[in-house]
Amino acid sequence: MKLQLVPTRTGITWVKLGMRTFFRQPLALSGLFFMFLAVMSVAGTIPVIGLSLALALLPACTLGLMAASKEADTGKFPMPTVFLSAFRAGRQQLRAMLVLGLLYGTGFWVIMGVTTLFDGGNFATRYLAGQMPTMEMAQDPAIQNAMLAFLLMQLPLSLMFWHAPALVHWHQVPPAKSVFFSLVACLRNFWAFTVFGLAWMAILIFTILAVSLFAGLLGSPEVAGLVLLPAAMLVAAMFFTSTYFSFRDCFDTSADGAP
């Protein structure tokens, strides 16, 4: 296995492949995506340890979605059990995946802790409660600095764990090394990932505008409320489907025969 550099236009290719693969198996991939959301939601509701548990499970669950995308890409129907790929790969692999989850959770809590230095924890409290800052709070320079600090630190954390679950699962790369290799792969293919991210943002914005326009033509704002969330979830499911292709193209795995 070795790192591959891809052209900038590959970012668009990943988007196209994600959408095409999703529509090959829309019911299966939608169901698995909602299973992912359900696991994260249920884990998050457990008192005291809920959020930490959800963070620890996140790499294993995102690996399940990537494994489902891989199966759909080869023409197979992804069964619900594919979502548990990380938990069915053996004790050693499961331990490595859970270590990866602990690393991610630790990084997230460190970021939350840093944001409290800017505003005394106001942003962190609302974020952890799933609440958006009010307009008055958003105009507070301290909270603005906390939000900026969060964004600046969350992005590299996400890149560090973008490929890490797949590297651990399919290539038996140790958790710490997988985090490093993931970050290097994303940075070396910076422009492809930039195009990839901007394209999905554009698709989401277009979806919101299209739903709003449709509701406006019908003269029924309620329609927008009913359709917008499912439409956004559909875009999110296609986004997660496309992440497998970003991993596949960033690493040459021909030497070891892995995906």
* Residue 152, pLDDT above cutoff 60: yes
Is residue 224 domain-resident? yes
Give the pLDDT confidence score for residue 223 in this predicted structure.
73
The whole-number average pLDDT for the span 46-56 is 93
* Residue 224, pLDDT above cutoff 80: no
Give the pLDDT confidence score for residue 129 in this predicted structure.
84
Give the number of C-alpha atoms closer than 13 A to the C-alpha of residue 244, restricted to the C-beta side.
28
* Residue 1, pLDDT above cutoff 90: no
Is residue 39 domain-resident? yes
* Residue 258, pLDDT above cutoff 70: no
Is residue 31 domain-resident? yes
Is residue 257 domain-resident? no
* Residue 61, pLDDT above cutoff 70: yes
User: Where in the sequence is the domain holding 53, given as residue range(s)?
Assistant: 2-252
Is residue 169 domain-resident? yes
Is residue 259 domain-resident? no
Give the pLDDT confidence score for residue 205 in this predicted structure.
95
Is residue 190 domain-resident? yes
The whole-number average pLDDT for the span 159-177 is 96
Give residue 11's identity as a one-letter amino acid code: G
The whole-number average pLDDT for the span 187-211 is 96
**Residue of 167, 169, 206, 198 whose CA lies nearest to 183:** 167
User: Alpha helices, DSSP H only, in 129-220?
Assistant: 135-138, 141-160, 164-171, 175-188, 190-218
Count: domains in the chain: 1
Mean pLDDT (the chain) is: 92
- pLDDT digits over 82-130, tens only? 999 999 988 898 999 999 999 999 999 999 999 999 999 999 998 888 8
Kindly give the pairing relationship between strand 251-252 and strand 2-3: antiparallel
- What are the residues whose beta carbons fall under 8 Å from the beta carbon of 173, sequence distance 6 or more? 167, 181
Report how far residue 50's alpha carbon sits from residue 105's, in angstroms, rounded to the nearest whole number.
12
- What are the residues whose beta carbons fall under 8 Å from the beta carbon of 255, sequence distance 6 or more? 1, 2
Is residue 247 domain-resident? yes
Cα three-residue angle 184-187-190, rounded to 5 degrees: 150
The residue behind tokens 């129907």 is: 77
